[in-house]
Amino acid sequence: MKNLFYLFFFVFAFQLQAQIINVESLRIKTDTLGWAGKIGLNFSMIQNTKSLVNIGNDTHVQYKTSKSLILLIGQYSLLVSENNNLIDKSVLHLRYNYNFTGIIVGEWFLQGQRNAISKIDFRGLLGAGLRLKLKKDEKHKYYFGTTFMYEYEISTSQLTQELFRWSNYFSLSLYPTENVRFISTTYYQPAFSGFSDYRILSQNSLYFIISEHMRFKTSFNYSYDNCPEINVPKTQYSLLSGLVFDL
């Protein structure tokens, strides 16, 4: 199982971001069948009393048919100051959805990730479950998902852990005007071996449509891990803003 995760993780040329990846915020909303995608890149370098280098990548490709959806998501974030990595994390996520009834959707996914600051050298996930459409119209969308997943993790101290988790999420999408979108998703992931070992992620993203291929995005991410690695805080959060270009 470990070799399968590593093969999936390294066969691609790039890596990605976040301890729990919010797939809901990355789905491209389109009625058009076939390929769609987006690429977000950023680089900055500051030199004064200290040097600071920031590199980021957010890539998403999807293929849609009348019944199926295949998602490939890649994110990478690196922030270096005086040869010290302040942020160094990446995620690669592959997901397949099959629409059974229009309300009930089957989900299968495979994910590999690392987060040096959280002392995660490698975490592999393999899961399957259901996604339910609670409501959908032109201005509102509500979904609930529940997934059974296997987790394999290697810490930076080379300690390994294998367990099964129950991943649940609630997602809402609001479209108050043609040029404004708000997407919010909250995940709750307890371990079956003990519900005191759980994680929570809440991500809220606000989009302003500038043109057909350009959006301005502001997002606030909050995560809580009740059983993190030693000397890693239970609570982490970030506020991000930037431009997104759609292919």
Task: Dig out the tokens for 161 from the structure.
Answer: 């852990």
What is the tens place of the pLDDT at every residue in 199-246? 999 999 999 999 888 889 898 989 999 998 888 899 988 898 888 776
The 3-state secondary structure of 1-21 reads CHHHHHHHHHCCCCCCCCCCC
pLDDT at residue 2 in the model: 40
Contact 192, 165 (CB under 8 A): yes
pLDDT at residue 54 in the model: 84
Token look-up 């979108």 returns 181
Task: State the pLDDT confidence band at 20, using cuts at 50, 70 and 90.
Answer: low
- For the cut 60, the answer to whether the pLDDT of residue 22 exceeds it is no
- For the cut 80, the answer to whether the pLDDT of residue 25 exceeds it is no
- What phi, psi does 102 have (nearest 5°)? 95, -25
Q: Which residue would you say has higher pLDDT here, 209 or 11?
A: 209
Q: Which residue would you say has higher pLDDT here, 165 or 14?
A: 165
pLDDT at residue 96 in the model: 95
What is the tens place of the pLDDT at every residue in 29-77? 556 678 888 777 877 777 777 788 888 888 889 999 989 999 999 888 8
Q: Which domains does the chain have, with CATH numbers?
A: 2-246 (2.40.160.40)
pLDDT at residue 67 in the model: 92
Contact 121, 156 (CB under 8 A): yes
- For the cut 50, the answer to whether the pLDDT of residue 12 exceeds it is no
Task: Dig out the tokens for 164 from the structure.
Answer: 């099964």
**CB atoms closer than 10 angstroms to residue 186:** 17
Question: How far is residue 132 from each of residues 26, 84, 102, measured CA to CA in Å?
Answer: 17, 44, 9
